[in-house]
Every structure is written in structure tokens, then in C-alpha cells.
């Protein structure tokens, strides 16, 4: 037997304490500098409402000249552009105007293979109201098409009917939008005007053409909804009508004046957002994020340089789509540290080391109640089938593979049944980590055989309890904000985890377990 080297143990312990102290000091130093010198926000959404908008365009070039044009948001409006960048490799760049809209054109003499172009902008709200802009008289919109003879008769008939039920321009526009919105309308005039293309753009353009017949100027507006974080924003469309010399917006959904304040105009007109020549398979995605550093004070001089350097080398400089991934991923160390406390300090028994954390991540999409119900269902059914497989005397790897296949079949079956029953939460079972479920079923069956049903159920309940608490912790907005804006706090977590690795004292559950022995003394 090797003799115990007390000196070596003391050196290792000293080395651990020095390492933990260095990590703790580094994490705290960077955190306090960013929080109290550069004024990075300590609370989520404690900031001026600035949004980062990223337009990502990808396509396959066909080994010939490529030209891609993108319509740009107006520099000034209800939201002002405070920063704007165009990112490409090897492309020429031109900006200009196209039918009263801003436009950027990328071009290259020859390109081949997968291509990526980016447009990024930072916008902030302004006191400007687009409806306060006076209407410039226009004889005819450039995108109005004349009605055919039958459509002209339908338009005149519909206008007469609507006019009889309206008192002014506002009620006229609202009634027109309601008539055109109703998909179940039995009005033959509406069916003639819309045809088979009953979408928002068709309804708006038809409304514009109808209003033009009675001398009312109108235009279609395209924009996006500014959200806290979205990886794929949809283009929204609404209508603007000239009323008393000013523009008044109308929602297509509600057919009433006004649109939500968080809608930003991108361009006006029915033109496409992106045009491409010399390429194919064009894909575009708009990501939007509320800027986390937007609450920084206006720095000057040295502070401004430091702020810029720290920002450029922080997670805030990543593409918005990637930021959305890390906002979730960086909460995993919080869950893992909490699990260390539950297992090593409190003494809670769980299946596997990190299974509760992975299940907690699945709970983010399923929500807690439905997540627990789905977990119990899939593990219960899988455990019953696992006991049946035991009679077949399979080897370990084929048995695990069989359980995995069965778990996937059960997940698909539960999703299908829940969908047919109208329980939409059942569809989210596909988000559960199937390999972890498989290993949980396998581990639970082994514990059941070796230590009995009670022990297996206790560990199962412990795992579910730990996953639930971990989910609640990882879902706290304040903690998500801290670890994303101040990722150096993970160094503090690492230091605490290393120190807990040396803890060899009693666990909380063991104190209750051996309470009787203590009384006997």
C-alpha cells in the first residue's frame, strides 16, 4: 500500500485554494469594472430601447456576375437608424433610392458557391410620428393596375354598398378592410376582386385601388415587429390612408386605425424586399434583439475606447441568432452548480450526473407542468418495455439501442395522440433529450433490480425534483441577463465548484439519517 504523502496533500490543497482565489478575483474584477465603471446594466431591460436588426441573405452563385439589391429602412421615422453596416466579402457596394425607398446593391463580377451577405442596423425610438407628415399629392400610384370590366363593376358595386354604411373616410376604410378580410364572405364582389389570392398584401392593394376610385390616396407599408429577441422575424404589412392632409395607419387584422407602437417601417410599396440575379436558392432571415448594452452612459475619450473594445470582444458582438443560443447555453453552468449543491451538500439522489439539467432545458419549451407529465409518461412506458426486454437476455449495447428506438417511437406516438386530442403541449415532447431518457430508463431498471422498487422510485422523484428546481432557477430573467452580459461570472461559479469539490463533510440528508446515533451518544 502506498504511504500517504501529507505534504503533497497540503500542496494540492494550497494549489486549489490559489486557483479558486485567482478565478474569483478575476471574475469579480471584470464584473465590477463593467458594471460600475462602464455601466453595463445589472437588470434585464434596464436600458434605452435600442434594437439590433440583422438581415442575413444566403444564396448559391452560379459562376457568373451576381447582383443583389435590398430595400433599406428609412433613416428617420418612428425609429431612427443610429448605426448601419453592410457586411460582404469581395462585393462592390452602392446605396441609392428606388421608388422613394432606400436601397443597397451588392455586385461582383464573378462568384461561385455559397454566398452570405449581411445588413446590420441599430435603431432607437424617436418622437417623430410618421402620420404627422403631410401627404404629397399624387395623381396615381405607380403600382395601381386598372380593373378589368367585370372587376370594375364589382368594385363600383362594393364601394356603393360600403359608402352607404359609412360616414367619413375612417369608417369607409375600416368597412372596406372588414369586407375584404372576411374569408367566409358570401359577397360575390369581394370574391371577384380578390380571386384566389386572399392574403394581406392582396387585400391592402385592392383597398388602395378601391380608394383611388373615390379619389382617396393610400399606400402599402411593410415593416417588422421589434421584439426583445427573435431569430426569424416576419414581415408585417399595413395600410396608410391620406386623411385631412396627413397619413393615417390602419391595421389589416383589426381594420381599425393605428398599429402597435413597436412596429417599425422598413419600406413602402409592393416591391420585393430582396432582388437577386446571378444566383439561386435565395434565403433571407431577419433577427432582432433588444441591445443589452444600450443602458451604457454616453462615454467619451478613454471610456469610449474601452467600451468599444470590450463590446467588440464580448458576446454582444456575435450575430443575433448566435446570441439567442448563448442566452440559453450560458444558463447551463447555473443549473450544474445548483445540482452540485443538491447532490454534494444536501445529498439528493438523482439518476446520472447532469440528467436533471438537460431535462430542465427541455422544460423551457414544454413548461413545467406539461414537462413533468410528459417525462413521467415516457419514462413509465419505457421502463415497462425495458423490463420486458430483460427476458430476452440481450447484450448491453443492443439493449440500449432497442430502448432508444422504443423511446423515439413512444415520443412520436404521444405527439400524434396529443395533437389529435387538441393538446398542443404534447408536441413539445420531441424536445426532450432522447439519449438521456434512454439512459434514465436503463439506470432506473438496474437500480430497481439491484436495490428494489422503493430506491428506484426515490431516485426518480429526486431527479424530477432536481430538474424542476433547476428549471425554475435557469428561467429567472435576472440570472439569464447576468450570465449573458457578464459571462465572467462563470469564473466565480467555477471557483465555487472547485472549492465544493473538496467538501467531505456530512450531507444534509445524512444528518437526519444519523440523528438517532447522535442521540445515543
Cβ-Cβ contacts under 8 Å for 295 (sequence gap 6 or more): 39, 40, 41, 46, 47, 48
* φ/ψ (deg, to 5) at 50: -105, 140
Q: Indicate the range of 2-16, 375-389, 408-422 predicted with least confidence.
A: 2-16
Q: Indicate the range of 52-56, 293-297, 460-464 predicted with least confidence.
A: 293-297
- The pLDDT value recorded for residue 303 is 42
- Number of Cβ within a 10 Å radius of residue 406: 18
Q: Could you give the CA distance from residue 82 to residue 102 in angstroms, rounded to a whole number?
A: 16
For CA atoms 514, 515, 519, 521, give the dihedral sign. positive
Q: Assess whether pLDDT exceeds 90 at residue 286.
A: yes
Residue-wise pLDDT for 188-207, tens only, equals 777 788 877 677 888 888 88
Strand, coil or helix: what is 436?
helix
Residue 295's pLDDT band (cuts 50, 70, 90): very low
Residue 508 in contact with residue 345, Cβ under 8 Å? yes
Strand, coil or helix: what is 326?
helix
**Residue bearing cell 395601381:** 144
Partner residues linked to 71 by β-bridges: 103
- The pLDDT value recorded for residue 69 is 94
Q: Could you give the CA distance from residue 45 to residue 42 in angstroms, rounded to a whole number?
A: 9
Q: Could you give the CA distance from residue 120 to residue 287 in angstroms, rounded to a whole number?
A: 10
> Cell for 517?
446515533
Q: Alpha-carbon dihedral of residues 93, 99, 100, 101, nearest 10 degrees?
A: -40
Q: Comparing 184 with 332, which gets the higher pLDDT?
A: 332
**Residue bearing cell 396608410:** 240
- Number of Cβ within a 10 Å radius of residue 420: 9
Q: Could you give the CA distance from residue 196 to residue 270 in angstroms, rounded to a whole number?
A: 18
Residue 155 in contact with residue 147, Cβ under 8 Å? yes
> Cell for 326?
448563448
Q: Indicate the range of 291-295, 467-471, 502-506 predicted with least confidence.
A: 291-295
Q: Could you give the CA distance from residue 125 to residue 127 in angstroms, rounded to a whole number?
A: 7
Q: Could you give the CA distance from residue 313 to residue 319 in angstroms, rounded to a whole number?
A: 13
Strand, coil or helix: what is 148?
coil
Residue 431's pLDDT band (cuts 50, 70, 90): low
- The pLDDT of 143-157, averaged and rounded, is 77
Strand, coil or helix: what is 274?
strand
> Cell for 108?
461582383
Residue-wise pLDDT for 235-278, tens only, equals 999 998 988 878 888 988 888 888 877 889 999 988 899 999 99
Helix then strand count (H, E) for the chain reads 17, 11
Q: Closest by alpha carbon to 492, among 337, 354, 343, 357?
A: 337
- The pLDDT of 394-423, averaged and rounded, is 83
> Cell for 249?
395607419
Residue-wise pLDDT for 73-125, tens only, equals 998 888 888 888 998 888 999 988 887 889 999 999 988 889 999 999 988 88
Q: Assess whether pLDDT exceeds 80 at residue 308.
A: no
> Cell for 446?
438496474
- The pLDDT value recorded for residue 144 is 65
User: Based on C-alpha coordinates, what's the Rg of the chain?
Assistant: 31
- The pLDDT value recorded for residue 299 is 38
Residue 447 in contact with residue 387, Cβ under 8 Å? no
Q: Indicate the range of 38-47, 320-329, 363-372, 414-423 predicted with least confidence.
A: 38-47
DSSP 200-213: HHHHHHHHHHHHHH
Q: Assess whether pLDDT exceeds 50 at residue 519.
A: yes
Residue 52 in contact with residue 84, Cβ under 8 Å? no
**Pairing assessment for the beta strands 235-243 and 101-125 based on DSSP bridges:** unpaired
Cβ-Cβ contacts under 8 Å for 294 (sequence gap 6 or more): 41, 47, 48, 49, 50
> Cell for 19?
486557483
Residue 159 in contact with residue 193, Cβ under 8 Å? no
- The pLDDT value recorded for residue 365 is 73
Question: How crowded is the C-beta side of 293, counted as CA atoms within 13 Å?
Answer: 20
Cα end-to-end distance, the chain, whole Å: 34
Domain segments of the chain as ranges: 326-487
Question: How crowded is the C-beta side of 186, counted as CA atoms within 13 Å?
Answer: 0
> Cell for 151?
372587376
Residue 156 in contact with residue 148, Cβ under 8 Å? no
Q: Closest by alpha carbon to 223, among 254, 261, 257, 255?
A: 261
Q: Could you give the CA distance from residue 494 to residue 491 in angstroms, rounded to a whole number?
A: 5
- The pLDDT value recorded for residue 67 is 93
- The pLDDT value recorded for residue 70 is 94
Amino acid at each position: 500500500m502506498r504511504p500517504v504523502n501529507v505534504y503533497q496533500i497540503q500542496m494540492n490543497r494550497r494549489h486549489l485554494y490559489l486557483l479558486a482565489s485567482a478565478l474569483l478575483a478575476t471574475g469579480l474584477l471584470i464584473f465590477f469594472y463593467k458594471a460600475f465603471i462602464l455601466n453595463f446594466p445589472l437588470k434585464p431591460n434596464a436600458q434605452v430601447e435600442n434594437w439590433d436588426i440583422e438581415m442575413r441573405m444566403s444564396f448559391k452563385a452560379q459562376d457568373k456576375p451576381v447582383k443583389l439589391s435590398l430595400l433599406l429602412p428609412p433613416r428617420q421615422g418612428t425609429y431612427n437608424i443610429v448605426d448601419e453596416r453592410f457586411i460582404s466579402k469581395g462585393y462592390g457596394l452602392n446605396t441609392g433610392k428606388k421608388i422613394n425607398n432606400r436601397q443597397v446593391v451588392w455586385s461582383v463580377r464573378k462568384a461561385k458557391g455559397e454566398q452570405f451577405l449581411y445588413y446590420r442596423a441599430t435603431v432607437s425610438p424617436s418622437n417623430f410620428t410618421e402620420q404627422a407628415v403631410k401627404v404629397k399629392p399624387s395623381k396615381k400610384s405607380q403600382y395601381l393596375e386598372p380593373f378589368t370590366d367585370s372587376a370594375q363593376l364589382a368594385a363600383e358595386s362594393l364601394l356603393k354598398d360600403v359608402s352607404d354604411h359609412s360616414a367619413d373616410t375612417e369608417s369607409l376604410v375600416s368597412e372596406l378592410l372588414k369586407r375584404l378580410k372576411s374569408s367566409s364572405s358570401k359577397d360575390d364582389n369581394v370574391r371577384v376582386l380578390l380571386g384566389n389570392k386572399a392574403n394581406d398584401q392582396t387585400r391592402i392593394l385592392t383597398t388602395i385601388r378601391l380608394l383611388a376610385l373615390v379619389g382617396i390616396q393610400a399606400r402599402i407599408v411593410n415593416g417588422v415587429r421589434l421584439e426583445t429577441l427573435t431569430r426569424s422575424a416576419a414581415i408585417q404589412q399595413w395600410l396608410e390612408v391620406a386623411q385631412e392632409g396627413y397619413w393615417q395607419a390602419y391595421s389589416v387584422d383589426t381594420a381599425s386605425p393605428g398599429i402597435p407602437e413597436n412596429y417599425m417601417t422598413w419600406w413602402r410599396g409592393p416591391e420585393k424586399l430582396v432582388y437577386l440575379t446571378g444566383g439561386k436558392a435565395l434565403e433571407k432571415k431577419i433577427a432582432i434583439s433588444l441591445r443589452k448594452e444600450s443602458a451604457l452612459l454616453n462615454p467619451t475619450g478613454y471610456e469610449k475606447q474601452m467600451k468599444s473594445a470590450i463590446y467588440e470582444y464580448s458576446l454582444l458582438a456575435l450575430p443575433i441568432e448566435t446570441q439567442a443560443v448563448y442566452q440559453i447555453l450560458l444558463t447551463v453552468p447555473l443549473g450544474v452548480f445548483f445540482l452540485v449543491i443538491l447532490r454534494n451538500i444536501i445529498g439528493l439522489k438523482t439518476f446520472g450526473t447532469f440528467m436533471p439539467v438537460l431535462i430542465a432545458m427541455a422544460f423551457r419549451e414544454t413548461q413545467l407542468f406539461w414537462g413533468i407529465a410528459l417525462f413521467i409518461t415516457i419514462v413509465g412506458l419505457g421502463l415497462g418495455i425495458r423490463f420486458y426486454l430483460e427476458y430476452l437476455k440481450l447484450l448491453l449495447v443492443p439493449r440500449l439501442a432497442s430502448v432508444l428506438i422504443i423511446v423515439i417511437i413512444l415520443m412520436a406516438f404521444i405527439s400524434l395522440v396529443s395533437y389529435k386530442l387538441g393538446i398542443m403541449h404534447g408536441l413539445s415532447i420531441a424536445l426532450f433529450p432522447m439519449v438521456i431518457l434512454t439512459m434514465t430508463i436503463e439506470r432506473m431498471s438496474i437500480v430497481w433490480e439491484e436495490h428494489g422498487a422503493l430506491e428506484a422510485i426515490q431516485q426518480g422523484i429526486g431527479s424530477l425534483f432536481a430538474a424542476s428546481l433547476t428549471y425554475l432557477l435557469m428561467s429567472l430573467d435576472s440570472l439569464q441577463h447576468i450570465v449573458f452580459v457578464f459571462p465572467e461570472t462563470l469564473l466565480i461559479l467555477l471557483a465555487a465548484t472547485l472549492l465544493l469539490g473538496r467538501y467531505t463533510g456530512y450531507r444534509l440528508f445524512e444528518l437526519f439519517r444519523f440523528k438517532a446515533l447522535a442521540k445515543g451518544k
